[in-house]
Homo-oligomer: A and B are copies of this chain.
C-alpha cells in the first residue's frame, strides 16, 4: 500500500466525518428529534470505520469531473445506509454482536428498540440528504441516482443478501454452498453498495453509458475483492487489529470463499479479482491512479 494512498484515504475520511457530523447535528436533524435517538444515530455513524464507500464515491466523482459537493452528499448518504445496516445486523435477532470496531454495538450501548429506530432513521435520512437542495444534485440526476441507491440497499441488494445469509443459518435451509451461491450472496450483501459507490461518480457527472459500465465492472470486482479479504481476515486476522470477533464464520460453519477454496485458493481468487478491477480502469490511465491503489489496498488490509 502506498503512503500516498493512505494519506488520500485519511483525508477523505476527515472530510466525510465532518459532513456526517453536520448531518447528525441538532440543527440539521430538526429540533424535535429525541436526544436519545440522535445519540444512537451518532453512535452508529460516528464510531469510526475506514469510510471506504464514501471514499469511492468521492474518487469516482473526481475521475469524471462531478461536483465534489454533490459527491459528498452521496458519500454521506451511502455511509448512513452502511451504518444503519450494521446497527440492524448486530441486533440479537440477527448476528447478536456486542462489539463493532472495538466499541459496543448500538443495541449493546443503548437497547434493541433504540437500535432498530436509529437504523430506521439513518436509512430515511440518507434519502433526505441526497434530495436536499444543499446536496446540489442536478434535478435530472436525482431520480436515477435515488433508484440506483435504493436498489443497491433494498430487497434486491443489501437487505436481500442479508436474508439469504441468515436464512441459510437460521432456517437450516439446504446450503447450496457453491461458489456461485456464495458470490451471489456477496454481490448482494456487500457488493451492491460498493458498486453503487463506484457508479455514483459517472452518474453525477452525466458521463457516458460506457463509463458507467466500466465503473460497474470495477465496482463489482472491488466489492468481491473486499469480501474475499474480509473472509481471509476472519481466518487469519487477530481480534485487536480487526476490532470485532474473528473466526465466527468457521465456528458457524458458514460457506465462504475461504471454506470453499482454502486460504491459498482464496488468495489466488483475490489476486485474479484485483487484476480484473484494475483492468476495468485501464482506459483512464494514470487519472485513475487512486482507484487503482484502492484495489491494491484491498489485498493488503489488516482490518
CB of B32 within 8 A of CB of A184, answer yes
Assess whether A123 is in contact with B125, with CB atoms less than 8 Å apart. Answer: no
Give CA–CA (A156, B120) in the complex, Å.
Answer: 12
Task: Check: A248 CB closer than 8 A to any chain B CB.
Answer: no
* Chain B residue at minimal CB-CB distance from A123: B123
A266 lies within 8 A of chain B by Cβ: no
Sample of 4 more A-B contacts, CB < 8 Å, known A120-B120, A121-B154: A38-B155, A117-B163, A128-B150, A131-B143
> Is A206 an interface residue when CB atoms closer than 8 A count as contact?
no
Complex Cα distance A30/B143, Å? 18
Q: Is the pair B113, A154 in contact by a Cβ cutoff of 8 Å?
A: no
- Minimal beta-carbon separation of A209 from chain B (angstroms): 16
A91 touches B116 (CB 8 A): yes
Shortest Cβ gap from A12 to chain B (Å): 25
Q: Are B34 and A113 touching (Cβ within 8 A)?
A: no
Q: How many copies does the complex hold?
A: 2
Closest residue of chain B to A40 (Cβ to Cβ) is B163
Task: Pick from A98-106, A164-172, A239-247, A292-300 the stretch touching chain B.
Answer: A164-172
Knowing A93-B113, A131-B143, A142-B143 are in contact, say whether A124-B159 is a contact too (CB < 8 A).
yes
Q: Is A146 an interface residue (CB 8 A)?
A: yes
Kindly list chain B residues whose C-beta atoms are within 8 Å of the C-beta of A160. 30, 32-34, 37, 121
Q: Is A132 part of the binding interface, using a Cβ–Cβ cutoff of 8 Å?
A: yes
Contacts of A121 in B (CB 8 A): 154-155, 159-160
Interchain CB contact (< 8 A) of A119 among B34, B120, B153: B120
